[in-house]
Copies of this chain bind each other. A is one copy, B any other.
């Protein structure tokens, strides 16, 4: 079963598509560019949501819900914003269908909207129109709001999880009395995203800011986290934007300061999406299937009975029931795969494909010896352990796997991170993949030329403050610090 996957070496892109389909994560729908997220894929997203939601709440954010539709005129209010999103908008123009007289239905032209509605590609405009009503005084600030929602961007080339016309995400929208506070909020969220990526997803990320050309449409500064996939391409895993007063000005949102002055409100917005599921898959999985970090695995432990006669299954079940109970009391999710329709080998391959972190196998000989076979998905290693205290051992093993997955991804990134100082070396490295630290003269023209010639983009400009001067790899003009280049998803 697992063998049907294309290998990564053979065709990484095909391997990814195969895996998403065969592991029952998602599939394409009848609607161009929109996916169906299947239960197993959705369960991973739910675990991500739950962890992120708690992090947002722990830092004082509240959830709310704003309309799916945005009046067209709102869109035009922030010039850069509309420029960035107008070309990929789904537009609602009518509100009724009627019989077409041929057994089908057609749009009822008499039900045309006076003003068209845009299906939200992101919600800054409708939210800042609302904030105008909510914010009068400094006492109303800060406003720390998040929403879990679907959004639509009419992408031309789509890929399951990574780029879809409709996707699920969270979008935070905060309002502040000072610039400093808003910048701190954008940075706080960046740190929180990085922590989530590393501690939960087991994906190491670089933090930095985008070059002006890669900024969010309407932002003053876009902070981002970037991860490196196994094929050496970068993937933007989350962004947090300092919006300055751009949206406050566009929607005329002012507040009265403590000194009784009228001032425009400062803003941030930030989001991560179902794209993270794609990043998770691409970071850890192998030619046998998914490798899921225990903290996000829908099923953490699977138990497969090995038996020939029904009486043997009964005896095994008695022992398994005890293990299941003990695991559950520790908050560990476990599935006893006692299907009699499939053989153990089939089950092993299936759960490997689905990335369950730990597999236990128990047969009659194990019962005699008081043992159980424990297989870990990340390394594919097996060992036979005494069944006594097994739940406790598995609890430790899951932690160990979580750490190992992260360390493995970190080593991979380290091995694929390069510092280059010449244009030839740069072209060569970029072609082979990985993060390439190089000097850039800071101009959009050079950024564009490098992109045209190599397909590499500036993934981020570091913000750790450690400046070190050098010469641009392309123009040899002076540069203040190295930036990170890569080809990207």
Contact = CB atoms under 8 A, between A and B. Distances in A.
A35 B64 CA distance: 11
A89 B93 contact: no
Contacts of A92: 90-93, 119
A133 B28 CA distance: 11
A31 B117 CA distance: 8
Given A90-B95, A91-B96, A93-B107, 11 more contacts: A27-B133, A30-B71, A31-B67, A31-B69, A36-B64, A69-B90, A82-B97, A82-B105, A86-B98, A89-B97, A95-B154
B71 A43 contact: no
Interface centre among A72, A89, A106, A168 (most CB of B within 10 A): A89
A152 interface: yes
B43 A62 contact: yes
Interface string A131-170: 0010000010000010001101010000000000010100
A104 interface: yes
A166 B69 contact: yes
Contact of A166 (B67, B71, B104): B67
A228 interface: no
Contacts of A95: 88-91, 154
Contacts of A38: 64
6 contacts: A27-B133, A30-B130, A31-B67, A43-B62, A68-B152, A86-B99
Contact of A94 (B91, B106, B130, B341): B91
Given A68-B34, A91-B97, A104-B76, A42 B63 contact: yes
Please give the count of copies of this chain that the complex contains.
2
Contact of A96 (B34, B72, B88, B133): B88
A96 B87 contact: yes
Given A92-B91, A95-B89, A30 B68 contact: no
A249 to B, nearest CB: 15
A109 to B, nearest CB: 11
B71 A341 contact: no
Contacts of A94: 90-91, 93
B93 A36 contact: no
Given A91-B95, A91-B97, A93-B93, A37 B62 contact: no
A70 B39 contact: no
A74 interface: yes
Contacts of A66: 29, 36
Interface string A237-251: 000000000000000
B91 A65 contact: no
A73 B154 CA distance: 21
A323 interface: no
Interface residues of A, number: 66
A36 B126 CA distance: 10
A63 B150 CA distance: 16
A116 interface: yes
Contacts of A63: 39, 42-43, 46
A296 to B, nearest CB: 15
A168 B65 CA distance: 9
A150 B30 contact: no
A103 interface: yes
A69 to B, nearest CB: 5
A75 interface: yes
Contacts of A43: 62-63
A92 B120 CA distance: 12
A472 interface: no
Contacts of A29: 66-67, 126, 130
Contact of A73 (B88, B99, B104): B104
A18 interface: no
A43 B53 CA distance: 12
Contacts of A65: 36-37, 42, 45, 168
Contact of A62 (B31, B34, B39, B64): B39
A366 interface: no
A86 B97 contact: yes
A373 to B, nearest CB: 28
B67 A39 contact: no
Contact of A70 (B31, B104, B107): B31
